[in-house]
Structures are given as structure tokens and as C-alpha cells.
Structure 1
Amino acid sequence: MAAYNVISTFLKKRLVQPVSNLLRQGMTPRSLSATVAVGSVIGVVPAFGITTLLSTAVAARFRLNIAATVLVSYLVQPLQLLLAIPFIRLGISVFGLGELRLSLSEMQAMFRADWLDAISKLWMANLAGIAAWALLAIPTGAALYFILIPLFHRVLPKPKLAVVEEDTSAVDVEVIQTL
């Protein structure tokens, strides 16, 4: 029971509160949708260690909330681990690197035979995985953007309209002076 409380407190502090703060920042549904789409797509790139730099650069280029984009990319990083091998396999099949297999025993045999060649082949496989991700990134990001807009329209608080009162005293003074 104590472990549940620790996990619950951790999730509230590290996940729920930052996302809630994002929703209260006054972001429009379109900008929040773009932020989540960009952060999600960049967060699953099969190249470990570049998500922060890449999401910061893209968010700055498109004038999105940088902190929110990086936060979303961090939140989807477990998907990065799950999707790395499928992206690499897709890249291998798309770019014709069929001689490379990704089973643990075959990789161990490659390293035993010639470790420099094994690193070279795995480097090419990783580049093929990044290229496969790049092929899917824009359509996936666009689809996610358009799916999230109506959702955020319903979820985000509606902006309150401010009532602007006219200052009629200047008009009255001007009318009196002309009389």
C-alpha cells in the first residue's frame, strides 16, 4: 500500500501536474495540438539522445511552446524504446539491407566475427530506421494534429471575454466645447 502511495504521488507530481499546468497556460487548441503532435512524433525517433535538441529546434522554428514540446517528447519516450526495432526493421526492408538480422544471437555472432563490420552494419540499420521514421513522421504528425484539435476544443477551458467600457467623458467634453 505504501508503494502505491509513492507511485501515485510521483505520477501526480511528475505527470499530471505539468500537463495540467500546460492546459492552464492559455494555449489555443491549435497551438496545443501542434505542440503535442510535434513532441509525440519527435519523441519516438529511433536515435537515442537527440530528442531534446530536435524538439527544441522544431518548436523554436514553428514558434511552439518549447517546454511543452520537450515535455511531450519525454512523456512518449517509452514508445521510443518500443518502436526502435520496428522502425529499424522497416528501414531495413525499405532500403534493401536484408542481410542484416536483429536477433541477439546473430548480433553476437557478428561481433565475434568482426566487431568493426558489426558496428558498421548496425549503424547503417539505425540510419535506415531513422529514415523510416522520417518517412512516417510528417503524415503521422499531421494526422495527430487534426485528431487532437477537436479534442482540445472540448477539453480546454473557454477564454473569458473581457468587457471593454468606452470612455465617453472625452466625447462629452468635446461636444460641450463646440456648443
Structure 2
Amino acid sequence: MAIAESFKLEDGFAVYAGVLARRDGLVEKAAYELATLGGTDGTEKALRIARALNRPDVHMVMLGGCIVSYYNWIDGETIWRELGLPTACYLFEKPEGDVRAALEKLFPDWRERWENISRLGPSVEFAYPDGPKVYVRSWGLDPRDAYRAALLSRRYGKIPEPLRIAKTIAEAARVFLEKYRGKTTPVIL
């Protein structure tokens, strides 16, 4: 199972998309949620998707980032504990910037946010055999095993196929919603 997001700051929300995908990339099911940009509902929304997609043969949850949606976050440990599924968070560019300083500048409740975000822990860097780097946080499985899962499910480029598909459909849903912002949608029977 993989969950990824897409957003534009002016929207005020992020589209989270989840896919139930086999290792070979075949997608069997998808689910969506909207999370607040700069909010605190990222974990709850990701958990809703995971619950909607979960079934007995699911082996892990892949997250396309943990600090998401303009400093919202997805707590992989909460997902692991709630569902009993090993959970891994992947980044495909080296984390940059001072998150704490940004939180202090942007949010009156920055201390609480920083406490939650810092609990995510540091990421572990790995390099694919062909060179690209991946940064992993994991809960319920060793980071090396989370890296292997990414390596085994990667087809094109550096992003594991389930995450690539989840990101693609999250972006498509966001673009679709953007077309109707401020408009009355037609009713089609």
C-alpha cells in the first residue's frame, strides 16, 4: 500500500491518494482524502486511506514523505501501531532547511508541531545500485528492509512504483478539483 500527496499553496488543501498495489505494480484499489495545508490532520487522513485499503494480504505501508502539506505531517509510528503494518516514509531528495525555524516563523503552536515532527526521527540515506539516493524512516521494520522494499518495487526512476502511481493520481485529482474551484459542478445522471 502506498500513500502520496499533491498540493498547491493557494488551494489550502492537499489531496492524499492511496493505492493498494502489488509488487509488480498492478493497482487493485485506490482511495482519497483531503488534508489541510499547514494543518495537523495529516496522520488522521493517511490513516483513513490506509484503513480503507487494508486487507489481510497487505504487507506494508509506503509513505511519500512524512513532513507534508506545508508542515502538516504523517506519523508513521501511529500508522504502524494502529494497523500493525510495517510503515516506511521515503524521500527522494536530501532533506534541506531548518524545519524548527520555519515552524517558529509560521505557526503560533510551533512547539507542539515541532514535538510531533521531531518524533519522526532522522532519515537514513541509501543509494540505489544505479546511483540515485533514497532517504528512509521506518517503523516496524529495519530501514534496510524498507530500502529493499523500495528497490524491489521500483520500475522507472527512483520512486517505487506504488508511490509513483499514488503521487500521479493525487496530482490528477488535485488538478480535477482545481477546475471546479468556485464553480457549480454540473450534475450528470
TM-score, normalised to structure 2's length? 0.23
More helix, by proportion:
1
Scaled by the length of structure 1, the TM-score of the pair is: 0.24
Structure with bigger gyration radius:
1
Could you say which structure has the higher strand fraction? 2
